[in-house]
Chain A
């Protein structure tokens, strides 16, 4: 095969000119330096990365190097990185960014990540990759700095948006890109309108093999590659999951998406020790719980809303403060409350006031003192969070609160306080996402979320790459309550706690059976007897088990690139 050879002749003309003019001639030292530079910037092989040679303080894992190599060599810098949680997607993105910078192909970079991770991204790029990334704080940063990290919520708002639209980005990196699956959203529109040469979409949630998701994400990376939307959907029904059957689509997805599973990486993970601690209510706590439970049989105001009863039951398992908070809200929100309503609430509040101890809190205190190391407590309720902070302080234990609603700076500050000054971090549910706490290896689940995915996210905060110790998880469950049911029937049956993060999201996405929360509300809220509850629960768990088996079968059958399983 003959290949076209282009010979750059500009040098020659200038050289002849200089001979005629007798100069000017360069210095020997600079001449030699220029060739040394050449030596450093030359890319000696078609395959392989340059970046790792220049990063003395980083030893990337084999699967991370492989991802970076794939993206640079085979995907032309347009890719969805969909590794399971905790495999180091940040490192992969950093490697790719560095590689392109070294090759002189990328200069202007925009990195959009969740607000709570902005600072961490900037720090990691600076310290591990020597990339002077700036966390966006002032609006002039967009124009003046080459590598900017920001949250998408800030970036998509004016005045920022207009400035950003005027920039030509060489590379755009988007973390948590599963939020871009829907092309009707503001976020999608914003990313679509960015001027970008290369683009990396990072997501831990696998593409659910839904045609519309594929169309939308691929269209962000390669606009126009799939033809127009209407024709595409005509050909492949919008909500169909026939992806597996279509060779073209399969090939396409393999061209733009890489997914590593924990099992494929061959990394030794630290162990997970899970201990369930059954706890007895105190007498007054039990009375409160029973009172709340009995509301259901009343046929009165509250039973129309099963959810409220469930909520109150779960809150009663957490703290009296949580119950009180909800009751007060109910009273305030009700327009023209009947006398009966007010009396009922009042009687419940009396029961709340009668409670003097919190059995779980006492257990937590005992455990924390015994562990004598850093501990994270997760609770679903803010009222419980505040109570616990007060309670621990009474017993000389320092703690910091953490909530999803905190501003970025405050999150960073709290994380730092926890690392350096406090023994305990008390986080509410929303605080579970987007914070990495590998320096801690004990978690207390003060109350359990009903969605197993959320539980995974909690554990994923500490059980990730960089965790050097075994991880200890303590689950609190009050005996003979709805809480114990959830724990026993759901979590223990599907062996949730023994699994590593990520397996579960695969399992759950495979099941197209809707929101797990809804199932649980149905089971616990609408069952008229214990027996019915048990049967429904069995159905649910066997569905999950079925999906698991399905998945195991696929893994065995899979060959080569498993991105689509």
Chain B
């Protein structure tokens, strides 16, 4: 992410959270936080606790961020934001937290008077992390139609081509799911696990070999000790944490999407 991309990202983030932009220019921006965002970002629980107890007038803070110290006014005081800065990490986390769950309807252009059925989809965006002493992530977006069980890979990309709205459009009705969301999630989970198990796991074997080599080395330095010291066990655990291969699947976000029957055909055709 280059510095101007960060600036653009921040502008979108605060806009989406209904924060008033007080000032923004090349390399910096100042925003008025909402109460909700102040609570999330500014880390002052005592203030908010006190306010709620006493019933005072809430006064959320303003935040100035500098994305390019060279371009921003010299006298401006604010936080320098860079890719990797804790503040940006915090905002990334907040973005995920605020948008973890969603429900949207397709805004279709069907003719008046005709009732359009919308089919329920379960969409899940996941990060699969392959971890040992190194790490690799894979992003997967899976959609499951909750009536016929059709599964779609790259679901989010397809959604981006549709027009979606949080309110059910006029002249539409939703069909009830035959597959309950709970079992839908299990299907997706099984699907991913099956796929992963079929993958080539040479990386894990290699990590185990490296692990064993390090263990041998450690063993060598302790081999003549009759009673091994505590530090030996500590080192051993540290090596396990460092090398042991494992795969973590975490869900970034997801939700329910009510789409027309031919939602994807149309988007592919157009």
Q: Does B248 contact A (CB under 8 A)?
A: yes
Task: Annotate A176-206 by CB proximity to B: 1 below 8 A, 0 otherwise.
Answer: 0000000000000000000000000000000
* Cross-chain contact of A29 among B12, B92, B220 (Cβ < 8 A): B12
In the complex, A23 Cα to B256 Cα: how many Å?
11
In the complex, A174 Cα to B60 Cα: how many Å?
41
Is there an interface contact between B249 and A131, defined as CB atoms closer than 8 Å?
A: no
Q: Does A245 contact B (CB under 8 A)?
A: no
What A residues does B164 contact at CB under 8 A?
28
* Cross-chain contact of B95 among A4, A33, A132 (Cβ < 8 A): A33
In the complex, A54 Cα to B95 Cα: how many Å?
20
* Cross-chain contact of B252 among A35, A73, A103 (Cβ < 8 A): A35
Is there an interface contact between B9 and A36, defined as CB atoms closer than 8 Å?
A: yes
* Cross-chain contact of B137 among A14, A24, A44, A130 (Cβ < 8 A): A44
What A residues does B79 contact at CB under 8 A?
132
Q: Does A140 contact B (CB under 8 A)?
A: no
CB distance from B182 to the nearest CB of A (A): 6
In the complex, A104 Cα to B204 Cα: how many Å?
23
Is there an interface contact between B166 and A35, defined as CB atoms closer than 8 Å?
A: no
Interface centre among B9, B96, B229 (most CB of A within 10 A): B96
Q: Does B235 contact A (CB under 8 A)?
A: yes
Q: Does A226 contact B (CB under 8 A)?
A: yes
What A residues does B13 contact at CB under 8 A?
30, 33
* Cross-chain contact of B136 among A8, A26, A46, A248 (Cβ < 8 A): A46
Residue of A nearest to B247 (CB): A5
What B residues does A42 contact at CB under 8 A?
127, 137-139
Is there an interface contact between A3 and B254, defined as CB atoms closer than 8 Å?
A: no
Is there an interface contact between A4 and B246, defined as CB atoms closer than 8 Å?
A: yes
Is there an interface contact between B231 and A54, defined as CB atoms closer than 8 Å?
A: no
Task: Annotate B83-99 by CB proximity to A: 1 below 8 A, 0 otherwise.
Answer: 11110010010011011
What B residues does A66 contact at CB under 8 A?
none
In the complex, A252 Cα to B134 Cα: how many Å?
20
In the complex, A42 Cα to B89 Cα: how many Å?
13
- In chain A, positions 1-42 with a C-beta closer than 8 Å to chain B are 1-8, 11-12, 14-16, 18-19, 23-42
What A residues does B74 contact at CB under 8 A?
none
Is there an interface contact between B247 and A33, defined as CB atoms closer than 8 Å?
A: no
* Cross-chain contact of A41 among B92, B197, B224 (Cβ < 8 A): B92
Q: Report the stretch among B42-50, B51-59, B100-108, B262-270 that lies at the interface.
A: B100-108
Is there an interface contact between A146 and B86, defined as CB atoms closer than 8 Å?
A: yes
* Cross-chain contact of A3 among B102, B201, B217 (Cβ < 8 A): B201
* Cross-chain contact of B101 among A18, A130, A222 (Cβ < 8 A): A18
Is there an interface contact between B1 and A33, defined as CB atoms closer than 8 Å?
A: no
* Cross-chain contact of A15 among B125, B242, B254 (Cβ < 8 A): B254
Q: Report the stretch among A227-235, A267-275, A370-378, A408-416 that lies at the interface.
A: A227-235
In the complex, A104 Cα to B127 Cα: how many Å?
16
Q: Does B205 contact A (CB under 8 A)?
A: yes
What B residues does A454 contact at CB under 8 A?
none
Residue of B nearest to A108 (CB): B86
Is there an interface contact between A130 and B225, defined as CB atoms closer than 8 Å?
A: no
What B residues does A33 contact at CB under 8 A?
9, 12-13, 16, 95, 99
Main SS at interface, chain B: mixed
Q: Does A76 contact B (CB under 8 A)?
A: yes
**A27-B99, A28-B166, A54-B84 known; A38-B249 Cβ under 8 A:** no
In the complex, A15 Cα to B184 Cα: how many Å?
12
Is there an interface contact between A30 and B83, defined as CB atoms closer than 8 Å?
A: no
* Cross-chain contact of A226 among B95, B221, B224 (Cβ < 8 A): B221
What A residues does B84 contact at CB under 8 A?
51, 54, 98, 101-102, 130-131
In the complex, A47 Cα to B139 Cα: how many Å?
17
What A residues does B234 contact at CB under 8 A?
224
Residue of B nearest to A43 (CB): B137
Is there an interface contact between B220 and A248, defined as CB atoms closer than 8 Å?
A: yes
* Cross-chain contact of B218 among A103, A104, A129, A225 (Cβ < 8 A): A225
Is there an interface contact between B135 and A43, defined as CB atoms closer than 8 Å?
A: yes
Residue of A nearest to B210 (CB): A74
Is there an interface contact between B252 and A38, defined as CB atoms closer than 8 Å?
A: yes
B: contact size bracket = 35 or more
CB distance from A289 to the nearest CB of B (A): 56
What B residues does A129 contact at CB under 8 A?
82
What B residues does A28 contact at CB under 8 A?
102, 104, 164, 166
Is there an interface contact between B217 and A248, defined as CB atoms closer than 8 Å?
A: yes
What B residues does A231 contact at CB under 8 A?
224-225
What A residues does B217 contact at CB under 8 A?
248, 251-252, 255
**A19-B181, A34-B96, A131-B82 known; A224-B232 Cβ under 8 A:** yes
Q: Does A278 contact B (CB under 8 A)?
A: no
Residue of B nearest to A5 (CB): B247
Residue of A nearest to B182 (CB): A16
Is there an interface contact between B82 and A7, defined as CB atoms closer than 8 Å?
A: no
**A30-B16, A132-B85 known; A76-B127 Cβ under 8 A:** no
Task: Annotate B69-89 by CB proximity to A: 1 below 8 A, 0 otherwise.
Answer: 100000000011011111001
Residue of B nearest to A26 (CB): B99
Residue of B nearest to A103 (CB): B135
Q: Does A107 contact B (CB under 8 A)?
A: yes
CB distance from B11 to the nearest CB of A (A): 11
Q: Does B26 contact A (CB under 8 A)?
A: no
What A residues does B225 contact at CB under 8 A?
227-228, 231
**A3-B245, A54-B83, A224-B235 known; A25-B103 Cβ under 8 A:** yes
What A residues does B139 contact at CB under 8 A?
38-39, 42
CB distance from A72 to the nearest CB of B (A): 8
27 contacts between A and B (CB under 8 A): A3-B204, A6-B249, A8-B249, A12-B182, A12-B251, A19-B181, A23-B103, A25-B101, A26-B101, A30-B17, A33-B12, A35-B156, A35-B253, A37-B9, A38-B139, A40-B1, A40-B83, A42-B127, A44-B136, A46-B134, A51-B84, A103-B135, A130-B82, A224-B231, A227-B221, A227-B232, A232-B221
Residues of chain B having any CB pair with chain A under 8 Å: 1-3, 9, 12-13, 15-17, 69, 79-80, 82-86, 89, 92, 95-96, 98-104, 125, 127, 130, 133-139, 141, 156, 160, 164, 166, 181-182, 185, 189, 193, 196-197, 201, 203-205, 208, 214, 217-218, 220-222, 224-225, 229, 231-232, 234-235, 242, 245-256
Task: Beyond the given A3-B247, A227-B231, please list 19 additional residue pairs across the A-B interface where CB-CB is below 8 A.
Answer: A1-B245, A3-B204, A7-B193, A11-B254, A28-B102, A28-B104, A30-B17, A34-B98, A34-B252, A34-B253, A35-B141, A37-B9, A37-B95, A43-B137, A54-B83, A130-B83, A130-B85, A132-B80, A252-B217
